[in-house]
Chains A and B, each alone.
Chain A
Amino acid sequence: MDLLQGTLDMLVLRTLRAGSLHGYGIAKSIRSTSNEALDIEFGSLYPALKRLEAKGWIASVWETSEHNRRAKFYRLTAAGRKQLVREHSKWADFVSAVGRIMGTLPEVKG
């Protein structure tokens, strides 16, 4: 499934609310949480992480991973938390607006 424009940032912020993860961990988490529906290319996720970091919504630190490997872990900052609330309400508004228009799934005669 393709992502709607601009939702990737929101997904990353939401995923990091649960706790800090490294880049690949974030991709895996999004994939599994969405029941494999959203398979995000690491190639697009990674620049998004850097962008969010530059905006100050997430912060990173080198840590040792579960398999005793060093990796850079990302966590949500206070500003990121606020941003997530904003994005979430915007998303909810969007979903309900689109839902009102689309209604229930129409029967398709074939």
Chain B
Amino acid sequence: MKIWNRLKYLWPAWRRQQERDMREELESLTAIAGANELGNLTLAMEDVRATWGWTWLGSIFADIRYSLRALRRQPAFATVAVLSLALAIGANSAIFSFADALLLRPLPVKNPADLFDVTNTTPDNPFEGMSFPDYRDLRNKNRSFSGLAAYRVTTLAVAASAAAPAQMCFANLVSDKFFPVIGVTPAAGRSFLPDEATAFAQPVAMVSYDFWRQKYAGEQSAIGSSLRINGIVFTIVGVAPASFTGLDRFALPSLFVPLGMAQRLDGETADPLEDRGRHDLVVKGRLSAGLSQESAQAEVATIGAALEREYVKTNRNRHMAVRTELERRMQQTPQLLALVKMLMGLVALILIIACSNVANLLLARGRARSREIAIRLSIGAGRGRVVRQLMTESLMVAMAGGGAGLFVAYGGIRLLETLSVPSDPPFVLGVQLDWRIVQFSLLAALASCIFFGLAPAWQTARTDFVSALKAGGDGSSGKGRMVGRDVLVAGQIALAMVVLIAAGMFLAGFRNMLVMPPEFRTDHLISMDTAPALVHYTPEQTKVFYRRLVDRVRTMPGVAVVAMAESLPLSPSQTAVNVAPEGYQFPKGRETELEFGGAVDAAYFSTLHIEIKRGRAFTDDDRAGSHRVAIVNQQFAKTYWPGQDPIGKRIRLKSAAGAPIEVVGVAKNGHYLAVNEAPAPYVYVPYEQNPRSRMTLVVEAVGDAGALAKPLRDAVRSIDGNVPVFNLRPVATLYESRVTDTWLQFFQMVGTMGFIGLALATTGLYGLVAYTVTRRVKEFGIRVAIGAGRRDIVWFVERRGLILAGVGIATGGVLTAMAAPMLAAGFPGLGVSSPAVYVFVPLVLLTVSAVASYVPARRAAGLDPLRALRNE
């Protein structure tokens, strides 16, 4: 039959007309032939309707209607089941959106599955960037990729005009053919032309869709207008589409500029694109059709090896690797992967608890409905048909739970959205409620429906209908079914315990952190970043600039002390340096290690109250030309010179061939990137001996630190209005957002999960105990009648709840013992599990179980024996 003919029968009016016509015809034939002659016309009509097709659809609708009616009759059941699922599915979807933003979401490009990541790998860094000459050679020699694109993330100072203050923005410096290779077409204007790739070309830029909306209100006139970037006038030629937010997860670019501009933007004397030793490009390759990642890897490795032989100086120990985007993300940020795994694991447990809850409710309900089912079976319904009907009901519950779960997820996502990293320009986490999340919720609902619905449906349909119809019994081997329900409830309690202990470990780990005083002073301090290099200051000009700035700020009213550092502790961007400590034996193939480190001035240690444990702090005498010195932290000394006196040791910086500098002091350990990091080595060098192009000013205020923000900005402007100012904020604000806020939100998240798990398991236990009481009303009546006291009955019921809880807690203990090491391994600094957690969580579970069983126990004890016996 043609599609059109089939579809016609979906139309209710058409079906009604066909139905009318059929009835009329059969009536007329009956009149002609006589009623008996034509046989079973009802069956004939049913067969005809079957030829119209869609009967399956009709019967599904009938099932759905019937299910909804059945659920409406038991609103308490429906509410508890839907709420359980909504909480669990919502938590899962929210965490999935988090995982999606951190790891899973594919790149916003055309056919993201074909786009591979190509990097250098070295013994020190498995994700080293590529130099432009290496990229060019790879691009020319390879046959695996239909196109290669390279780019580098940078921050640029952007201003509308020479008079306007500059704003820091993330930008991508992109190779030619970048947009065609990744398959992104501009929303307006055009992408870059081949002859715009060189350093001598007219400066052109593309802007992101958001930037276009914010700065140009989405006007077409933005194309062709000019923009000052790092002091150079650029012409805007195009706008990236809204869907394209760059190839990096957190640093979303506002601007795209040809890579050829790098030299002019950074004001460098040599062309960075001709420097084979400058390994800073991210390279993406679009795999040619029909080729595999393995073959591309093999070819790229060969090309890499050839380059290593040819350019020994710059490419020694460097290999090339091809990875998928997901591989790169997972390997590059293992701590995020661990976090995501833990959170996904916890919410999965919660989903299992919720499903057990619903399964339990369904089993109880199945018993109550065994009579109805028995009638349906006895009048000829197939068992498969009954299972289908029951599964439809489960599906309705699951879909309602999934739908309501989306609202829960939305709430969770709103909470996750507030997670932020204090930086200027801002990092974006990018959690969002999108189509992927909706799909995930529906999938979770479907999977849980099968999980909680199938066994109870099967159980119910197995009802022996003869005995079920007889005398109102339930006709099933009740014993086995009760054991099944006990197992479910004990299992719920066990899983709840795992979730709670995980939450407890989190709390125990964080409590130290939350109550820990910062290792440096945060009050009355304000910090400010400036980057004169962005507006093409020479190193000499930069030194003069900072000298003038410090002098000016020092004389400002309300300023007590001024200090400078390359990076502040806990600021999201930390500087690092390769170190080769004297006397330390590196593993074969390595000569240096990358460690946190930065330049600070003489006032730094005293201003931030960073204690010097041994030796001395820097002084004004540590000048350019004087004896070169360094200060290391305790962890540095412990790592590289265990058991030795670090004072007087020497370190070479940048490479094993660097000039030796002498350690003159040991500073107290601190946290540098995150408060939960393991103690990390740090090396300080004096600013005067190591002038840097970008420094952070730390100013101690006499009064309120925040009040200095404007005077500080004005101080920079009075020296040079083009020098961009950013990250201007009180140090206490930075500290709070880095320590308290982010982690407090994580803690709230994990705590909420623990609470949901506990609530769901308690509901399950309460439901089971209450149900048992209802079922055994008669028995309790007899017990009371033959002299059992109130107390006996209460204890009798209570005992059952406690036994279930006990079994659950014991099982949970075993599960936790298996899970805890994994948790501890994923979170260094957090794995310190306090024994208190192991005592506290079982106690909470026991108490809650006791209360949950006490409510039905009291009801059982309050039964009037006469009425109880008359019942049934």
Contacts and interface: CB of A to CB of B under 8 A. Distances in A.
A59 interface: no
A22 B50 CA distance: 22
Interface stretch (B24-32, B97-105, B703-711): B24-32
B37 A24 contact: yes
A55 B53 CA distance: 13
Contacts of A46: 26, 41, 44, 47-48
B639 interface: no
Contacts of B5: 54
A22 B26 CA distance: 10
A43 B29 contact: no
B39 A22 contact: no
A108 B34 CA distance: 44
Given A54-B1, A54-B5, A72 B28 contact: yes
Interface in B1-57: 1, 5, 22, 25-26, 28-29, 31-33, 37-41, 43-44, 47-48, 50-52
A67 interface: yes
Contacts of B37: 24, 42
A31 to B, nearest CB: 11
A99 to B, nearest CB: 33
Contacts of B51: 47, 50-51, 54
Contacts of B41: 43, 46
A65 interface: yes
B44 A42 contact: yes
A55 B31 CA distance: 28
Interface string B376-403: 0000000000000000000000000000
Interface string A46-80: 11001100110000000001010111100000000
A22 B38 CA distance: 13
Nearest to B22: A50
Contacts of A47: 44, 47-48, 50-51
A92 B252 CA distance: 76
Nearest to A42: B38
B564 to A, nearest CB: 87
Given A24-B33, A54-B51, A55-B1, A43 B28 contact: no
A71 B44 CA distance: 18
B547 to A, nearest CB: 94
A49 to B, nearest CB: 9
Contacts of A42: 29, 33, 37-39, 44
Given A23-B25, A54-B5, A43 B39 contact: yes
B1 A22 contact: no
A2 interface: no
A41 interface: yes
Contacts of B33: 24, 42
A28 to B, nearest CB: 8
A43 B48 contact: no
A47 B51 CA distance: 8
Contact of B32 (A44, A54, A71): A71
Contacts of A65: 32
Contacts of B47: 43-44, 46-47
Contact of B28 (A51, A54, A55, A70): A70
Contacts of B29: 22-24, 42, 71
Interface string B769-788: 00000000000000000000
A53 to B, nearest CB: 9
Contacts of A67: 32
A23 B26 CA distance: 9
Given A47-B44, A55-B1, A72 B39 contact: no
Interface string A11-39: 00000000000111000000000000000
A45 to B, nearest CB: 8
A14 B52 CA distance: 24
B28 A69 contact: yes
A43 B25 contact: no
Contacts of B43: 43
Given A43-B43, A65-B32, A71-B32, A24 B38 contact: yes
A74 to B, nearest CB: 10
A71 B48 contact: no
Contact of B39 (A41, A54, A55, A69): A41
A72 B38 CA distance: 15
Nearest to A41: B39
Contacts of B26: 46
A69 B32 contact: yes
A47 B48 CA distance: 5
A44 B26 CA distance: 13
B201 to A, nearest CB: 69
Contacts of A72: 25, 28
Contacts of B40: 43
A65 B33 CA distance: 12
Nearest to B43: A43
Contacts of A44: 44, 47
B7 to A, nearest CB: 13
A50 B48 contact: yes
Nearest to A55: B1
Interface in A70-94: 70-72
Contact of A43 (B31, B38, B50, B52): B38
Contact of A69 (B22, B31, B44): B31
A16 to B, nearest CB: 16
Given A22-B29, A43-B39, 18 more contacts: A22-B28, A24-B37, A41-B39, A42-B38, A42-B44, A43-B38, A43-B43, A43-B47, A46-B47, A47-B48, A50-B22, A50-B51, A51-B51, A54-B1, A54-B51, A55-B1, A65-B32, A69-B32
Top 3 A-B pairs ranked by shortest CB distance?
A47-B47, A43-B44, A43-B39
26 contacts: A23-B29, A24-B32, A24-B37, A41-B39, A42-B29, A42-B39, A42-B44, A43-B38, A43-B41, A43-B43, A43-B47, A44-B44, A44-B47, A46-B41, A46-B44, A47-B47, A47-B48, A47-B50, A47-B51, A50-B48, A54-B52, A55-B1, A69-B28, A69-B31, A71-B29, A71-B32
